[in-house]
Amino acid sequence: MIRSLCAAAAASLLIGGAASAQELAATPSAVPASAGAAAADKPAATKVETAILNNANDYKIGPEDLLDISVWKNPELSRTVPVRPDGKVSLPLVNDIQAAGLTPTALRQQLIDRLSEFIPAPEVAVIVREVHSMKVAVVGAVKTPGRYELKSAATVLEMIALAQGFTDFASRDRITILRQENGDTRRIPFNYRKVADGDEQANLIVQPGDIIVVP
């Protein structure tokens, strides 16, 4: 009798354990599901954020920037030089070379090509130590019009904020960005109302030399 009861209890435990194992196997894991939900909830980068990242990766040297140019094992050729207003820098052996409008990588390659005439396989490094060429002017009906030097990418709305905002009689619907392109002046309208209503794509990224006109 006792043996029969023990056998029945053991069988019941085995059956219950098997059922629990099947239920666990059929239930999806909670960790991947929550991770997937978190990934799905993560917002995609806006065009403004993408433009800022692109600008950071493709920075072009400009006038008044300060560059560290070093030539490995040739300290007499290494210099910390400012970019002149004409966009050039002066270095031993290569004399004047165009720097403005080039990325540090492109300038490095040009220096390697020029120095190769005097040094076998030169190793050159170009580092932008200080940025002074990113200047944007805000003029017209703003509280503090002027020319502002930037250290990173900025939007039109940020530039207006730097100028302490609009005056009482500013025409917010007629803001224009003047931009030099290939020797010509391009007029770009800026829709302040759309940006104020939350349209981030309308909040344009400014470029060095831009003039924001607030009538």
DSSP summary character for residue 108: H
Place of tokens 């990224």: 205
Single-letter amino acid code for the residue at 31: V
d(Cα 53, Cα 94) in Å, to the nearest integer? 33
CB 200 within 8 A of CB 48: yes
pLDDT tens for 94-105 read: 999 999 999 999
Give dist(CA 26, CA 1) in Å, integer: 38
Supply the pTM of this predicted model: 0.64
Judged against a pLDDT cut of 80, whether residue 41 lies above it is answered with no
Q: Using CA atoms, how far apart are residues 153 and 207, in angstroms rounded to an integer?
A: 8
Domains and CATH numbers, the chain: 66-130 (3.30.1950.10), 135-214 (3.10.560.10)
**Residue 113's beta-bridge partner residues?**
none
What confidence score (pLDDT) does residue 65 get? 95
Task: Please give the C-alpha separations between residue 27 and each of 14, 31, 34, 65, 203, in angstroms, as whole numbers.
Answer: 20, 12, 14, 61, 47
Indicate the pLDDT class of residue 195, thresholds 50, 70 and 90: very high
Band of pLDDT at residue 57, cut at 50, 70 and 90: low
**Residues 48, 201: contact at Cβ < 8 Å?**
yes
**Which pair of structure tokens corresponds to residue 88?**
């050039």
Nearest of 115, 125, 165, 122 to residue 141 by alpha carbon: 165
Q: Is 212 exposed, middle or buried (0-12, 13-18, 19+ CB in 10 A)?
A: buried
Q: What is the mean pLDDT of the chain?
A: 81
